[in-house]
Amino acid sequence: MTGENTDDDHGHRPTSDVGTVSLVGSGPGDPDLLTVKARELLETADVVLHDKLPGPDILAEIPEDRREDVGKRAHGEGTSQAYINDRLVELAHEGKSVVRLKGGDPTVFGRGGEEMRHLAEHGVPFEVVPGITSAIGGPGVAGIPVTHRDHASSVTVVTGHEDPTKAESSVDWTALAEAGGTIVVLMGVTRLPEYTTALIEGGMDPETPVAMVERATWPAQQVATGTLSTIVDARDEVGIDPPAITVIGEVAGIRTEVLGAMLPDSASTEVDDA
């Protein structure tokens, strides 16, 4: 197939009494980094399904009677993805306009793809409303451009959730080390020692700059900087906790060059551990 056919050729065009689902990215946490469209949808949706990732400032803008927290159930265990999928379909079949709000961008490690498929299988009309991914916007706000003509002609965003020492790990850290671009690890606080070691063993220079940004763009943002060989100690010294992103590559060193000129909104979120 090359081009694509018009809607008539596809089976699931919804009837008018079915609601809609918008898979919406919240961005990294600063409400001003919501898109115009996301903000409008949050104001007009019948119900917003969310977890904790969009952060307190954004969640506080949504009236409680239109919010449904699917991040945790009563006994503290995570709501299953199957429940969320079914709930989205159920609400749409009640004719509701539903926002499924996700931290960052809905398609970057957000199960957005699974929800898209489930909605399509059940004939629920949906749209994807992109958000600023913290993988790119987080470093940017902190003074780190993820690409730079002199330093990095690619950026790879990867999850640090998996154990890189396991044989079945689907992330090939050696190949990433060889690719030579910037690497941004999401959800990579706990396994930092494993994947920094894997990258060094994969041939990456141990002196490669690394920065960790905790709660990027939130008022409580914290940053730790170091190198592939020192960042674990820096993480512990600063006390970086999840959620945080790890930026690996020469570009991570630019922050220290430019920090002095950054406007207070960006720069004042620094933690001084001197």
Query: Footprint of a copy of itself on residues 38-77 (CB under 8 A)?
Result: 39-40
How far, in Å, CA of 192 to CA of 201, rounded?
Answer: 14
175 binds a copy of itself (CB under 8 A): yes
Residue 85, amino acid: N
155 binds a copy of itself (CB under 8 A): yes
Question: Contact with a copy of itself (CB under 8 A): which of 99, 198, 224, 248?
Answer: 224
Question: Contact with a copy of itself (CB under 8 A): which of 54, 55, 181, 249?
Answer: 181
Q: Which two tokens stand for residue 2?
A: 């090359």
How far, in Å, CA of 121 to CA of 109, rounded?
Answer: 21
In the complex with a copy of itself, the residue whose CB is nearer, 116 or 189, is 116
| Minimal distance, residue 234 CB to a copy of itself, in Å | 4
In the set 30, 51, 105, 204, the catalytic residue is 51
178 binds a copy of itself (CB under 8 A): yes
Question: Contact with a copy of itself (CB under 8 A): which of 66, 67, 93, 151?
Answer: 151
Backbone angles phi, psi at 49, to 5 degrees: -90, 130
Expressed in angstroms, the distance from the first to the final Cα of the chain is: 60
In the complex with a copy of itself, the residue whose CB is nearer, 11 or 76, is 11
In the complex with a copy of itself, the residue whose CB is nearer, 97 or 197, is 97
DSSP code at position 206: T
C-alpha distance from residue 229 to each of 168, 225, 243 (Å): 25, 11, 22
Choose the stretch contacting a copy of itself; rule: CB under 8 A; options: 43-51, 82-90, 107-115, 192-200.
Answer: 107-115
Q: Indicate the Cα dihedral angle 58, 132, 45, 99, nearest 10°.
A: -110
119 binds a copy of itself (CB under 8 A): yes
Backbone angles phi, psi at 99, to 5 degrees: -105, 125
Backbone angles phi, psi at 261, to 5 degrees: -100, 0
Choose the stretch contacting a copy of itself; rule: CB under 8 A; options: 48-56, 62-70, 71-79, 179-187.
Answer: 179-187
Question: Contact with a copy of itself (CB under 8 A): which of 16, 17, 36, 75?
Answer: 36
Choose the stretch contacting a copy of itself; rule: CB under 8 A; options: 42-50, 68-76, 192-200, 251-259.
Answer: 251-259
C-alpha distance from residue 141 to each of 11, 30, 32, 48, 262 (Å): 43, 11, 13, 27, 9
| Minimal distance, residue 235 CB to a copy of itself, in Å | 8
